[in-house]
Amino acid sequence: MGEEEEDKFGDDLIKPTSFYSAEHEKTKLNWFCYEAALSFEFEIQHKLGERLKRYGIYEEQIADFSIYLAKQMKGILLQKLSGEIETVYFSYDMVEVYFPKLSDRMVNKMLDAVAKAWDEQLSVCEICPTRCVSEKDVYCTMFDEGPY
């Protein structure tokens, strides 16, 4: 990552570069995934950050999980858009595979936080003029402009 990218996104643990590796991957759908990862990270950290420390899970691990989860959700969202599945879902496995030592109760709390973040993200998307999901393959200039 270049200095310019570093300056634009500062000390954020989740950076847009986690969602593209080539210029043609700077799509609106990948920007949506970046924003979803930020939402997941914020909600999990805000609601569960202190409790997760007891499991040895800190900000960096939460950020990495949020990136992983957003990428998983991209595939699920594409299945929904193509009609392969009827509803978007969050599975217990998504959390358990990444954090195998969490208790069932904590996995449920993680899923609650993730679902809340997802719903909030979608409510913002409903009124956003960028239309990241409906124009999923269109080049996204926000990767070049920085956060808002």
User: pLDDT tens digits for 86-127?
Assistant: 888 889 999 999 999 999 999 999 999 999 999 999 888 888
Is the Cβ–Cβ distance between 25 and 137 less than 8 Å? no
How many CB atoms within 10 Å of residue 39?
Answer: 22
Alpha-helix residue ranges (DSSP H) falling in the chain? 3-9, 28-53, 59-82, 92-98, 104-127, 142-145
> pTM, whole model, 2 decimals?
0.87
CA-to-CA distance for 131 and 137, rounded, in angstroms? 11
Tens of pLDDT along the chain (148 residues) come to: 444 444 444 568 999 999 999 999 999 999 999 999 999 999 999 999 999 999 999 999 999 999 999 999 999 888 888 889 888 888 999 999 999 999 999 999 999 999 999 999 988 888 888 888 889 999 999 998 865 4
Parse the chain into domains and list their residue ranges: 26-142
